[in-house]
Amino acid sequence: MSTVQQPEPGDRPARLAVGVVGAGRVGPALAASLQLAGHRPVAVSGVSDTSRRRAEAMLPGIPLVPPAEVLQRADLVLLTVPDDALPGLVTGLAETGAVRPGQLLVHTSGRYGAKVLDPALRAGALPLALHPAMTFTGTPVDVQRLAGCSFGVTAPEELRLAAEALVIEMGGEPEWISEENRPLYHAALALGANHLVTLVAQSMELLRTAGVEAPDRMLGPLLGAALDNALRSGDAALTGPVMRGDAGTVAAHVTELRRHAPQAVDGYLAMARATADRALAHGLLKPELAEDLLGVLATGADGTDGTNGTDGTNGTEGNAR
């Protein structure tokens, strides 16, 4: 349950006309959540047919117009475009005179802080960086998921309260991130969330290859428990053959991956090395077992079969625990 305290009606900022530039998965969801808080979406821009359909579904009746017209109509503008497109968009809007003095300009990029909005700041806009730490589907369920979602907030000191108020109105929890720490903050989220999807998808494919009919049902309880344990206990939640120093089992894994899914080998080896390093550092992996394990991982990285023996088990019996 979210611990966010919704502001009292008298504490809320004035109701704002909201515009969205970039009708991807994020913008329409944020605009819809602001609409629930009493703000008024007035315009959306989108390029692809998919984005236009999404905007019509999430914000029915809101006109689709070019970006410059969005800024003409809105007091609060959400810039929800891909990271690499953001600097050019801001510069273009400022140079063409689309930015109005006193206009709240909000981007949702995790990579950038408020400084990327400097061209608009010089034109009189009020710059805010509000990044929701959430994965989006582009459907109405996203609005519900914003409840209790953390937002990485970066803004000039004089706008900090306004930024945090908007986050709270969307049901989120503001977390202040300094300008210089935005890239690190975003890398941390990508490492956890984006790579998790890749790992789960690879695991499901391998289970299907192994004959498992419902890999999602098999993985659901396991991964749910692993995530819960990791969030509660950190490295102490580590389990499995790497943590135990079962070099033979890891060697057998590498052999099978090379045979059935060679594209997954590099990722397996990289994560196994990182896991071994953390297990060693926290006293979970015995040093006397780590040598053989690290040897297997080094051999696997050389493009061989990942074993030191002839039976795929590093000369020992694989541990099935």
Q: Number of helices (H) and strands (E), helices first, in the chain?
A: 14, 7
Residue 71: what pLDDT? 97
Cβ-Cβ contacts under 8 Å for 66 (sequence gap 6 or more):
45
Q: Which of 33, 266, 218 is nearest to 141 (CA)?
A: 33
pLDDT at 300 over 80: no
pLDDT at 257 over 80: yes
Percent of the chain at pLDDT exceeding 70: 89
Residue 304: what pLDDT? 53
Which region among 8-12, 37-41, 112-116, 149-153 has the lowest average model confidence (pLDDT)?
8-12
Helix (H) or strand (E) run with residue 132 in it: strand 126-132
Residue 320: what pLDDT? 34
The overall average pLDDT reported for the chain is 90
Q: In what order do the strands lie in the sheet with 150-154?
A: 40-45, 17-21, 76-79, 104-107, 126-132, 150-154, 173-176
Q: 43 forms bridges with which residues in the sheet?
A: 19
What are the tens digits of pLDDT across the range 162-216? 999 999 999 999 999 999 999 999 999 999 999 999 999 999 999 999 999 999 9
What are the tens digits of pLDDT across the range 212-255? 999 999 999 999 999 999 999 999 999 999 999 999 999 999 99
Residue 165: what pLDDT? 96
